Structure 1
Amino acid sequence: MADVSAHYDGSAPTYHEQYDPEKIWTNADYPANFYRLRKVIDRLRDAGAQSVYEFGAGEATPMIRVHEALGIAVAANDISPEMVRLGRENLQRHGLDPALLSLLDVQDEAAINAEVALRGEFDAVMALGVIPHVEDDAAFVSAMSRFLRPGGTLLLQFRNAMFSMFTFNRLTKEFILDEVMAPIPQKFRDAVAADLDSRLAVDKPPIRTWDKDAPAYDEILARFHNPFELADVVRAQGFGDISFHWYNFHPTYPMIGGQFDPREYREAQIALEADTSWRGMFLCSAGFIEARKSA
């Protein structure tokens, strides 16, 4: 995960801005993670959690906000040395022990073993923006489970593959051919591929780049997940009571969003964040699974 670590090292100095309520209207990018964190706090509150362990805490803003909102015990890890350095400073500024944030690779079994021995079990465990970067979903959920007491709550964020059914671009084509039509003979898939090229904006979205001396997000492993398949992975690791929560709503498919006044468009996005219906599965580019560990 060296490229992943380098990416987050590069984004660490400004990472906190996505959680800043003062920047909701001024940041160029939609503050999806601001609204995600609100929903996470609500789910932890409703679950009655008194402690939470976070995978991929970044520079610690989410764990600090959770602690401040709920008054619960927190601990976490991250793979990025720069995120951990800034996170420990952030924890100290907020009166929390910097040692609550560990530097480790979640795919390193020995590191996970040592962290479990150090931290013990929690009422809840969460991973926001981590599973897109790991190669073995089952092993990752299993690692999360090791920090969780029986009956505890798991919150697992994912990039939503189903959103591609609303984007009408290259991602739509890839999802139809690689997922929906996976068992269908190649000659039919080839015909559909050719037809989709004439119907979809297959040149979009562009690959995102940036001007930092580190790989951009689209240049690292950053997988989408089918929510139904990911729920099966979670279930197989001994979890039940599985539900989906959606965020980062799009009132139109993204490629025509530029036709609208930016503030009006953002207002529509924010208003949709209150929607808890099935529509989120198609209007949202991300979501998170909530599940209970079997007793």
Structure 2
Amino acid sequence: MTGTAVEAEIRKFGALADRWWDPDGPMRPLHRMNPLRTGWIADRIARAHGRTGRDLSGLTLLDVGCGAGLASEAFARMGARVTGLDAAGEALEAARAHGAAGGLEIAYREGTPEDLAPTNETYDAVVALEVIEHVEDRAAFLGALAALAKPGGQVFLSTLNRTARSFLMAKVGAEYVLRMLPVGTHDWRMFVTPGELGAGLRRAGLAVTDLAGMTMDPLTGRWRETRDLGVNYLVAARRD
């Protein structure tokens, strides 16, 4: 395997494969966040193709760092032709089994975006959700995402801002106090500010088109779109 994937990160998330689809398990925050982030992305893909609602019928989408397929399945149900890509083989096994049980046709592949870039495959949309904060070489990673988008295609990321508040909420609070995530899930030093991410996307040949914050209601556990980028946020970009 080549590219920007960190072996320790691959092993860490591969070990969670058998519990990935448990809504109350270690991936509970992603289960709760998923409707917001996939809906936000689908709205913008559909709009770019002159469609209303979240109709992604026939459009090609690459889900980078797909894990066991939470986002891949959501996009497939909206009609997209989804390819899920991940470096953790155990997670992909769980993804294939769950997708097959739900009657979904999703092409799951093991590897990194750098592995795919030389094939000249391109997609209408490329998404990488909660991935870049686990990546070793951000510039190479973003360059590969850009190469995998069609000319005029879109690239979407969601990640964590590197702020004092994100350290308290997403690292200390989520992992040690509330136990929402396994201890060691995140390294706060690898969190990415919007400015850093925007600059990296521009260097990769992508133009940022939208930004939004994601905020969780601590009483209900529901996530909503906000203007607050201080902890979790989404980015949309376009390849010229």
Normalised to the residue count of structure 1, the TM-score between the two structures is 0.64
Query: C-alpha deviations, 1:198-217, integer Å up to 9, x for none?
Result: xxxxxx559649x9xx9841
* 8 Å contact from structure 1 (residues 246, 287) kept in 2: yes
Q: Distance in 1 between matches of 2:212 and 2:232?
A: 9
Q: 1:140 to 1:57 in 2, by over 3 A?
A: same
Residue aligned with 2:16, SS: helix
* 8 Å contact from structure 1 (residues 242, 292) kept in 2: yes
Q: 1:273 to 1:237 in 2, by over 3 A?
A: same
Alignment match, 1:237: 204
Q: Distance in 2 between matches of 1:86 and 1:30?
A: 15
Q: 1:113 to 1:37 in 2, by over 3 A?
A: closer
Question: Highest CA radius of gyration, 1 or 2?
Answer: 1
Residue aligned with 2:94, SS: helix
Tell me which amino acid in the other structure corresponds to 2:203: A
Matched, 1:11 2:16: yes
Q: Distance in 1 between matches of 2:167 and 2:64?
A: 33
Q: 1:169 to 1:42 in 2, by over 3 A?
A: same
Q: How does 1:36-55 map to 2 (within 5 A)?
A: 36-48=37-49, 50-55=59-64
Q: 1:274 to 1:205 in 2, by over 3 A?
A: closer
Q: Distance in 1 between matches of 2:21 and 2:189?
A: 20
Q: 1:222 to 1:11 in 2, by over 3 A?
A: farther
Tell me which amino acid in the other structure corresponds to 2:62: Y
Query: C-alpha deviations, 1:231-285, integer Å up to 9, x for none?
Result: 01101111114321221346xxxxxxxxxxxxxx323x63x7143x3xx123xx2
Matched, 1:61 2:70: yes
Query: C-alpha deviations, 1:39-82, integer Å up to 9, x for none?
Result: 2233333333622111011111311111112x121112111111
Q: How does 1:77-116 map to 2 (within 5 A)?
A: 77-97=85-105, 100-106=107-113, 109=114, 111-113=115-117, 116=119
* 8 Å contact from structure 2 (residues 124, 154) kept in 1: yes
Query: C-alpha deviations, 1:7-50, integer Å up to 9, x for none?
Result: 112222222234xxxx6xxx699923443233223333333362
Structure with a larger share of its residues in strand = 2
Q: 1:233 to 1:88 in 2, by over 3 A?
A: same
Q: Distance in 1 between matches of 2:134 and 2:151?
A: 27
Q: Distance in 1 between matches of 2:162 and 2:43?
A: 25
Q: How does 1:1-295 map to 2 (within 5 A)?
A: 1-18=6-23, 31-48=32-49, 50-69=59-78, 71-97=79-105, 100-106=107-113, 109=114, 111-113=115-117, 116-117=119-120, 120-162=121-163, 164=164, 166=165, 208=176, 216-218=184-186, 223-249=190-216, 265-267=218-220, 270=222, 273-275=224-226, 277=227, 280-282=228-230, 285-294=231-240
CA positional deviation for 1:138? 1.2
Tell me which amino acid in the other structure corresponds to 1:62: A
Tell me which amino acid in the other structure corresponds to 2:224: E
* 8 Å contact from structure 2 (residues 214, 229) kept in 1: no
| Count of matched residue pairs | 220
Alignment match, 2:53: none
Tell me which amino acid in the other structure corresponds to 1:82: E
C-alpha RMSD over aligned residues? 3.2
Tell me which amino acid in the other structure corresponds to 1:243: D
Query: C-alpha deviations, 1:158-198, integer Å up to 9, x for none?
Result: 21124x2x469599xxxxxxxxxxxxxxxxxxxxxxxxxxx
Percent same amino acid at aligned positions?
20
Q: For structure 1, list consecutive stretches of 5 or more residues without a partner in the other structure.
A: 172-203, 251-264
Q: Distance in 1 between matches of 2:188 and 2:33?
A: 20
Q: Distance in 2 between matches of 1:142 and 1:232?
A: 12
Structure with a larger share of its residues in helix = 1
Tell me which amino acid in the other structure corresponds to 2:110: L
CA positional deviation for 1:2? 1.9
